[in-house]
Amino acid sequence: MTDAAFQESYTTPDGRKIGDVVMEMKNISLRFGGVTAIKDISFDIREGEVRAIIGPNGAGKSSMLNVINGFYHPQEGEVWFRGEKRGPMKPYQIARQGIARTFQNIALFKGMSTLDNIMTGRLIHMNTSIASQAFWKGPAEREEIENRERVEKIIDFLEIQTIRKTPVGSLPYGLQKRVELGRALASDPSLLLLDEPMAGMNVEEKEDMSRFILDVNDEFGTTIALIEHDMGVVMDISDRVVVMDYGAKIGDGTPDEVRQDEKVIAAYLGVSHD
Amino acid sequence: MSADFLFGVEVLLNGLMAGVMYSLVALGFVLIFKASGIFNYAQGVMALFAAQTLVGIQTGLIPFSHLINAMLGTKIHHFGWNVPTFIAILITIGIMVLFAIIVEKLILKHLVNQEPIILFMATIGLAYFLEGFGDLMWGAEIKKLDVGIPQGGNLWIEESTAFLGGDDFYGFYLDTLDIYATVIAVILVASLILFSQYTKTGRALRAVADDHQAALSVGISLRTIWVIVWSIAGFVALVAGVMWGAKSGVQFSLSLIALKALPVLMLGGFTSIPGAIIGGLIIGVGEKLFEFLIGAPFLGGATENWFAYMLALVFLIFRPQGLFGEKIIERV
Ligand SMILES: Nc1ncnc2c1ncn2[C@@H]1O[C@H](COP(=O)(O)OP(=O)(O)OP(=O)(O)O)[C@@H](O)[C@H]1O
Ligand SMILES: [Mg+2]
> What is the interface pTM, i.e. ipTM, of the complex?
0.89
Is residue B258 within 8 A of residue B312, CB to CB? The reply is no
Q: How many domains does chain B have?
A: 1
pLDDT tens profile A38-61: 999 999 999 999 999 999 999 999
pLDDT tens profile A112-157: 999 999 999 999 998 887 877 777 678 888 888 899 999 999 999 9
**What are the angstrom distances between the C-alpha of A160 and each of A114, A156, A177, A234, B98?**
9, 6, 11, 25, 44
Can you spell out the DSSP letters for A182-239?
A: HHHHHT--SEEEEESTTTT--HHHHHHHHHHHHHHHHHS--EEEEE---HHHHHHH-S
d(CA B252, CA B258): 12
Give the pLDDT of residue B323: 75
Look at residue B327 and tell me if it is in a domain: no
Ligand 1 neighbour A59 (Cβ under 6 A): yes
Is residue A180 within 8 A of residue A103, CB to CB? The reply is yes
Can you spell out the DSSP letters for B214-272?
A: HHHHTT--HHHHHHHHHHHHHHHHHHHHHHHHHHH-BSGGGGGHHHHHHHHHHHH-TT-
> What residues form DSSP beta bridges with A51?
A225, A240
- Percent of chain B surpassing pLDDT 70: 97
Mean pLDDT to the nearest integer, B304-330: 78
Count other Cβ atoms within 10 Å, centred on residue A229: 16
Nearest protein Cα to ligand 1, atom 29: A58
Task: Please provide the size of chain B in residues.
Answer: 332
Please choose from A32, A196, A272 the residue to mutate so as to test ligand 1's pocket, defined by most ligand atoms within 8 A of CB: A32
Return the H-helix or E-strand segment holding A240. strand A240-245
Look at residue B200 and tell me if it is in a domain: yes
* Burial zone of B97 (CB within 10 Å; 0-12 exposed, 13-18 middle, 19+ buried): middle
**Dihedral (CA of A177, A183, A185, A190) sign:** negative
Look at residue B329 and tell me if it is in a domain: no
Ligand 1 neighbour A32 (Cβ under 6 A): yes
Look at residue B331 and tell me if it is in a domain: no
- Judged by DSSP in three states, A45 sits in strand
Look at residue B323 and tell me if it is in a domain: no
Q: Is the pTM of this model over 0.90?
A: no
Look at residue B99 and tell me if it is in a domain: yes
HSE value, Cβ hemisphere, 13 Å, CA-based, for A77:
23
Given pLDDT bands bounded at 50, 70 and 90, which one contains residue B1? low
Query: What is the end-to-end Cα distance of chain A in Å, rounded?
Result: 29
d(CA A87, CA A120): 26
Ligand 1 neighbour A222 (Cβ under 6 A): no
> What residues form DSSP beta bridges with A30?
A38
**Ligand 1 atom with minimal separation from the A274 CA:** 25
d(CA A155, CA A175): 12
Give the pLDDT of residue A3: 46
* Burial zone of A216 (CB within 10 Å; 0-12 exposed, 13-18 middle, 19+ buried): buried
**What are the angstrom distances between the C-alpha of A119 and each of A139, A194, B65?**
17, 19, 51
**What are the angstrom distances between the C-alpha of A152 and each of A13, A101, A181?**
33, 20, 14
Chain mean position to CA A20: 18
* Burial zone of A157 (CB within 10 Å; 0-12 exposed, 13-18 middle, 19+ buried): middle
Query: Would the CB atoms of B216 and A92 count as touching at under 8 Å?
Result: yes
Chain mean position to CA A176: 16
User: How would you list the strands of the sheet with A21-32, edge to edge?
Assistant: A35-46, A21-32, A76-81, A84-85
Look at residue B326 and tell me if it is in a domain: no
d(CA A151, CA A142): 14
A101 touching B, CB under 8 A? yes
d(CA B44, CA B265): 14
Look at residue B167 and tell me if it is in a domain: yes
Ligand 1 neighbour A121 (Cβ under 6 A): no
pLDDT tens across the length of chain A (274 residues): 444 444 566 677 776 777 889 999 999 999 999 899 999 999 999 999 999 999 999 999 999 999 999 999 999 999 999 999 999 999 999 999 999 999 999 999 998 999 999 999 999 998 887 877 777 678 888 888 899 999 999 999 999 999 999 999 999 999 999 999 999 999 999 999 999 999 889 999 999 999 999 999 998 899 999 999 888 899 899 999 999 999 999 999 999 899 888 888 888 765 544 4
- Write the residue in B200, B214, B222 that is nearest to A108 by C-beta: B214
- Write the residue in A121, A128, A133 that is nearest to B218 by C-beta: A121
Give the pLDDT of residue B329: 52
Q: Which residue of A has its CA nearest to B222?
A: A92
Exposure letters A232-263 (e unless 16+ CB within 10 A, then b): ebbbebbbbbbbbbebbbbbbbbbebbbebee
| CATH number corresponding to A1-98+189-274 | 3.40.50.300
Query: Would the CB atoms of A130 and B220 count as touching at under 8 Å?
Result: no
d(CA A190, CA A19): 13
Spatial CA neighbour of B261 closest among B12, B21, B11, B36: B21
| Ligand found nearest the CA of A38 | 1
State in Å: Cα A37 to ligand 1 middle.
6
Give one word for A112, left, alpha or beta, with left for phi > 0 and alpha for psi -120 to 50: beta
d(CA B88, CA B122): 30
pLDDT tens profile B162-206: 777 777 777 788 888 888 888 988 898 888 888 888 888 999 999
Domain encompassing residue B255:
3-318
Is residue B172 within 8 A of residue A88, CB to CB? The reply is no
How do A240-245 and A223-227 pair as beta strands? unpaired
pLDDT tens profile A186-197: 999 999 999 999
Query: Would the CB atoms of A101 and B217 count as touching at under 8 Å?
Result: yes
Give the pLDDT of residue B235: 94
d(CA B13, CA B330): 41
Please list, in sequence order, all residues whose beta carbon lies within 8 angstroms of the beta carbon of residue B204, skipping any fewer than 6 positions away.
A120, A123, B215, B220, B225
Spatial CA neighbour of B267 closest among B313, B306, B329, B209: B313
Nearest protein Cα to ligand 1, atom 2: A32
d(CA A72, CA A65): 9
Query: Would the CB atoms of B211 and A109 count as touching at under 8 Å?
Result: yes
Is residue A163 within 8 A of residue A175, CB to CB? The reply is yes
Mean pLDDT to the nearest integer, B255-278: 85
State in Å: Cα A32 to ligand 1 middle.
9
d(CA B188, CA B210): 23
Alpha-carbon gap: B214 to the closest alpha carbon of chain A (Å): 6
Using an 8 Å CB-CB cutoff, list chain A residues near B275: none
Quote the Cα angle for A268-A270-A274, to 5°.
70
Domains of chain A, by residue range, sit at 1-98+189-274, 110-188
Ligand 1 neighbour A61 (Cβ under 6 A): yes
Using an 8 Å CB-CB cutoff, list chain B residues near A103: 213-214, 217
- Write the residue in B204, B209, B222 that is nearest to A123 by C-beta: B204
d(CA B314, CA A174): 41
Question: For chains A and B, what is the number of CB pairs under 8 angstroms?
Answer: 89
